[in-house]
Chains A and B, each alone.
Chain A
Amino acid sequence: MSQTIAPAPSISRTLIQPFIVAVRDVFHKMAKVEITCEKPHLKEGNHTSYEVCGIIGFSGHVSGSVVVSFSDQAALKLVEAFVGEKIDRNTPDFADAIGELANMIAGGAKQHLGGSASISVPNVVIGKGYQIANMSQVPCLVIPCKSPHGDFAIEVCIKQR
């Protein structure tokens, strides 16, 4: 079953749809969790959607960054489903698992984006009330995602060269 969502105006569908496909594939295959993506919207302000974030940089024919942002509760439960055991939020293993999820989502999207896109190693940020810098003059689109374990979002801030 495919899920096609019309993105907000001024954002290319070809840059967004790969992330919707990838996030559903990754969680279905790796965690046996079904994800529903809602209509993307333009990000307002600079604060992240949730507290636990994995950041991946893109370079090549698309450049910018993508943030996979989980609520605390969703992160704990989804990591548990992914790894197969509970992991404490304050351990390096938890950050590693978040980084790996972000890496797989970005990697999956990269395949669908085609061309010569490269992705960076992930960087994981955990906390409250922080903001992550985005490329200036590039609109950031938020793809809200729902899972049985809680909500998360993919913040896509990339442009095609």
Chain B
Amino acid sequence: MELNPNDIFQLAATIWEATLGIQIEAVSSQPPSSKRRSTAACIQITGAWNGAILLDTPDSVARRAASAMFNTDASKVQVTDLQDAVAELVNMVGGNVKALLPETCYLSLPAVVEGGDYSTRVPGSQVLTRVFFSSEGESVTISIVEKVKPQTAAA
């Protein structure tokens, strides 16, 4: 299974533009890691293809997204709003990615984490595609991971 990073960037660009009114810019490589607070969401895909999509955004981007989605002043956005906004974004990305996958696949509910010092992993998976982009100068990452099939013993 292959997913073109350009396709993933394009669908992210469409979602950002249509939902948040923000134009994103492609970034060629992963920015240096920092201890910034971030909100990450993971949605699982099962069925004809098994894997997950992880969306990692700085809290500033999540705050801007929540403000746009819920029509709220950014200064009044709560952590739960950040989580809901990023959950909705990963759900939209998941829905679009699902359309690129073989039929029939199912999306799980998103799992969302917010904090300043954590890492996430989907056990038993490997990265298939990773896309970096800039949203109003802040770096956002979309990772698509594929479940690794268990090795079968040779006869």
* Chain B residue, CB-CB nearest to A119: B108
Known: A120-B108, A121-B44. A100 touches B123 (CB 8 A): yes
Residues of A within 8 A of B46 (CB): 120-121
- The reply to whether B118 and A126 contact each other, CB–CB distance below 8 Å, is yes
Let me know if A9 is at the binding interface, CB within 8 A. no
B124 touches A133 (CB 8 A): no
Which residues does chain B contribute within 8 Å of A127, judged by CB atoms?
A: 115, 117-119
Contact with A along B68-85 (1 / 0, CB 8 A): 000000000001100110
Interface residues of A in 64-78 (CB under 8 A from B): 65
The interface size bin for chain B is 20 to 34
User: Are A131 and B52 also in contact (CB < 8 A) when A121-B122, A125-B118 are?
Assistant: no
**Chain B residues whose C-beta falls within 8 Å of the C-beta of A98 in the assembled complex:** 123
Contact residue among A100, A120, A124, A130 (Cβ-Cβ distance under 8 Å from B114): A130
Whether a CB of chain A sits under 8 angstroms from the CB of B147 is: yes
Contact A99 B116 (CB under 8 A): no
Interface string of B29-59 (1 = CB under 8 A from A): 0000000000000101010001010000000
Does B121 count as interface, using CB distance less than 8 angstroms?
A: yes
Q: How far is the CA of A120 from the CA of B50 in the complex (A)?
A: 11
Residues in A with CB closer than 8 Å to B122 are 99, 121-124
- What CA separation (Å) do A8 and B108 show in the bound complex? 29
Please report the C-alpha to C-alpha distance between residue A92 and residue B42 in the assembled complex, in whole angstroms. 17
Query: Could you count the A-B residue pairs with CB atoms below 8 Å apart for me: how many are there?
Result: 89
Complex Cα distance, B80 from A125, in Å, reads: 18
Asked if B11 is at the interface of the complex by the 8 Å CB criterion, the answer is no
CA distance A130 to B79 in the complex (A): 11
A129 at the interface (CB under 8 A from B): yes
Q: Considering the chains assembled together, what is the distance between the CA atoms of A57 and B108 in angstroms? A: 8
Given A65-B109, A123-B52, A133-B80, the answer on whether A128 and B117 have CB atoms closer than 8 Å is: yes
Which B residue's beta carbon lies closest to that of A131? B114
Interface contact B80-A136, CB-CB below 8 Å: yes
Q: How far is the CA of A15 from the CA of B27 in the complex (A)?
A: 46
B65 on interface, CB distance cutoff 8 Å: no
For the complex of A and B, 7 pairs with smallest distance between CB atoms: A127-B118, A130-B115, A99-B123, A133-B112, A133-B83, A96-B123, A95-B121
Binding site for B on A (CB under 8 A): 46, 55, 57, 59, 63, 65, 92, 95-96, 98-100, 120-133, 136
18 additional contacts, CB 8 Å, given A57-B109, A126-B121?
A57-B111, A59-B108, A65-B111, A96-B123, A99-B121, A99-B123, A121-B46, A121-B124, A122-B122, A124-B122, A126-B118, A127-B115, A128-B117, A130-B118, A131-B115, A133-B80, A133-B111, A133-B112
